[in-house]
């Protein structure tokens, strides 16, 4: 990013600190499964996790990063949950990474922040009446974690630098740790059912015909690095929103687990934001050097070995639409049930002011399509929980987009990345089945077919993008289409040997 911008590093560190304002608990790394949950005192649980562990490692070997498992990677490992110093850095071979179980510290006297049980002490055990609903919430979250590792498994081979390769692997091992975090909850609190679910998590496969991952976006391919950066910016941000909502859960172990996961998630968002930002920077710099001022002079721009901005917009459109679908139907009885039960809150639930956190009588404005027109309808707020989380997500996406636009503006190029209309290209929820342009016009199927290539990546776009995906695997080398980062990881230089490729 250009000098003088608000550094996204600062923003993200702030985000992390905000969600993780708790204190320190020791983690014992002598244990086979590092943890701060006193695993050694619960023999039955320890045995259950130990018997899941080999299957996990097999899954990692089979479905984790393809081809780089024997190399030393400069990785961050969580060693505590203290925001001031929770991680250490060092070279690790990925299969030897210490996936641990870490919960944010217990907040004494914590109460259920929302729903019918608001104000009652947070549950330390699964409330019997909500057992099935709670298990489902945990399983759906858990399933996304290994899914993204599977989606990204071929990317190492085309990494645009060792720095980026290391960031990819960092994200991958942490998604693995998130799986551990959720499996711990399933195995500890859900008995036999939980163990079965933990096993099934190792068996589903992203994009598999017969046994796919649960949610649509997690069955899409992540075939190239731009997709990876868009995924970590937009789709990991769905992860952030879901984790934030689950961090408000009245089921305290889930809340504590998600609070710590959010700390790691901040890095994934950073990888996405800076990855797209650096791509934009390389494009703008190359255009300026070549004296190209028109961002739509696509052939000339592509000849420079960089990605044109209109195509970046189309890629962003695609990822935004697919990710918005992850929020589910805007109006949802299940979401109402989870909120009322106190199992899942809204974004920042405990800090929200202005309502009673029970929402029995409240309403929320939801945009729907009625007879081919948009209408804003007041619906019971309880049934609009998903709609609200989606709206909060869309707001949350804007900060990074504004910072991308600053890079373009500073380069003096007349182009802005924007978010498409909420209904654009949706498959789930209120807008499914409608043809809605990014500008928010409802059009016919014929009109859509004629113009879709303006809004979504065309085959030609993808072929060109793919042609740029050549490995750049020497320390300090960066592919033409992406600018080097402003600083390295853990204060190392940008030409550090982040992955030791023998
Ligand atoms: Fe995750
Ligand atoms: Fe993530």
C-alpha torsion sign, points 457, 152, 407, 496 = negative
What is d(CA 473, CA 467) in angstroms, rounded to the nearest whole number? 17
The pLDDT confidence band at residue 21, using thresholds 50, 70 and 90, is very low
From 401, 307, 382, select the one nearest 342 (Cα to Cα): 382
DSSP assignment of 368-400: EEETTEEEEEEEEGGGGHHHHHHHHHHHHHHHH
Residue 444 confidence (pLDDT) above 50: yes
Residue 465 confidence (pLDDT) above 50: yes
The H or E element that residue 92 is part of is: strand 87-93
pLDDT for 6 equals 38
What is d(CA 78, CA 101) in angstroms, rounded to the nearest whole number? 10
What is d(CA 120, CA 114) in angstroms, rounded to the nearest whole number? 10
Cα 36 to averaged position of ligand 2 atoms, centre (Å) = 21
Cα 236 to averaged position of ligand 2 atoms, centre (Å) = 5
From 204, 271, 200, select the one nearest 232 (Cα to Cα): 271
pLDDT digits (tens, 9 = 90+) for 379-429: 999 999 999 999 999 999 999 999 999 999 999 999 999 999 999 999 999
What the block records as the tokens of 199 is 């096993």
pLDDT digits (tens, 9 = 90+) for 191-236: 999 999 999 999 999 999 999 999 988 998 899 999 999 999 999 9
Cα 175 to averaged position of ligand 2 atoms, centre (Å) = 6
What is d(CA 84, CA 20) in angstroms, rounded to the nearest whole number? 10
CA dihedral in degrees (327, 233, 96, 196; nearest 10)?
A: 10
What value does the mean pLDDT take over residues 35-58? 94
What is d(CA 345, CA 333) in angstroms, rounded to the nearest whole number? 14
Cα 250 to averaged position of ligand 1 atoms, centre (Å) = 21
Cα 330 to averaged position of ligand 2 atoms, centre (Å) = 23
pLDDT digits (tens, 9 = 90+) for 270-288: 999 999 999 999 999 999 9
Cα 342 to averaged position of ligand 2 atoms, centre (Å) = 24
pLDDT for 279 equals 98
What is d(CA 425, CA 434) in angstroms, rounded to the nearest whole number? 8
Contact 379, 252 (CB under 8 A): no
| Percentage of residues in the chain having pLDDT higher than 70 | 94
What is d(CA 20, CA 12) in angstroms, rounded to the nearest whole number? 12
């Amino acid at each position: 990013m250009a000098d003088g911008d608000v550094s996204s590093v600062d923003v993200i560190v702030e985000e992390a600190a905000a969600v993780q304002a708790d204190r320190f608990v020791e983690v014992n790394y002598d244990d086979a499964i590092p943890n701060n949950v006193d695993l050694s005192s619960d023999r039955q649980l320890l045995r259950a996790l130990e018997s899941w562990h080999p299957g996990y490692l097999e899954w990692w070997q089979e479905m984790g990063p393809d081809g780089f498992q024997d190399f030393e990677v400069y990785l961050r490992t969580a060693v505590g949950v203290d925001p001031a110093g929770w991680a250490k850095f060092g070279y690790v071979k990925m299969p030897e990474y210490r996936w641990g179980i870490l919960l944010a510290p217990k907040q004494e006297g914590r109460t259920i922040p929302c729903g019918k049980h608001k104000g009652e002490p947070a549950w330390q055990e699964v409330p019997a009446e909500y057992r099935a609903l709670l298990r489902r919430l945990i399983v759906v979250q858990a399933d996304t974690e290994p899914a993204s590792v599977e989606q990204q498994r071929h990317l190492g081979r085309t990494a645009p630098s060792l720095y980026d390769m290391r960031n990819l692997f960092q994200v991958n091992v942490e998604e693995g740790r998130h799986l551990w975090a959720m499996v711990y909850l399933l195995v500890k609190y859900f008995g036999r059912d939980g163990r079965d679910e933990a096993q099934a998590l190792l068996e589903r496969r992203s994009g598999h015909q017969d046994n796919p991952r649960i949610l649509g976006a997690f069955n899409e391919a992540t075939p190239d690095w731009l997709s990876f950066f868009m995924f970590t910016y937009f789709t990991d941000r769905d992860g952030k929103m879901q984790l934030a909502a689950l961090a408000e859960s009245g089921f305290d172990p889930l809340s504590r687990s998600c609070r710590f996961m959010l700390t790691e998630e901040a890095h994934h968002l950073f990888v996405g934001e800076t990855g797209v930002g650096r791509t934009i920077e390389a494009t703008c710099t190359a255009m300026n050097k070549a004296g190209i001022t028109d961002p739509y002079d696509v052939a000339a721009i592509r000849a420079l070995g960089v990605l044109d901005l209109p195509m970046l917009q189309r890629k962003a459109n695609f990822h935004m639409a697919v990710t918005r679908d992850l929020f589910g139907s805007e109006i949802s009885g299940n979401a109402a049930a989870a909120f009322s039960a106190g199992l899942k809150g809204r974004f920042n639930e405990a800090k929200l002011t202005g309502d009673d956190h029970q929402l029995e009588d409240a309403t929320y404005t939801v945009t729907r399509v009625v007879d081919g027109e948009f209408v804003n309808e007041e619906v019971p707020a309880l049934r609009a929980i998903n709609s609200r989380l989606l709206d909060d997500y869309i707001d949350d996406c804007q900060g990074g987009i504004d910072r991308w636009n600053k890079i373009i503006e500073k380069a003096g190029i007349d182009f802005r990345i924007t978010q498409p209309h909420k209904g654009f290209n949706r498959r789930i929820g209120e807008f499914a089945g409608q043809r809605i342009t990014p500008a928010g016009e409802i059009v016919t199927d014929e009109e859509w077919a004629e113009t879709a290539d303006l809004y979504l990546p065309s085959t030609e776009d993808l072929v060109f993008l793919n042609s740029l995906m050549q490995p750049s695997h020497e320390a300090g080398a960066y592919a033409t289409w992406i600018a080097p980062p402003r600083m390295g990881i853990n204060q190392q230089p940008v030409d550090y040997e982040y992955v030791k490729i023998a």
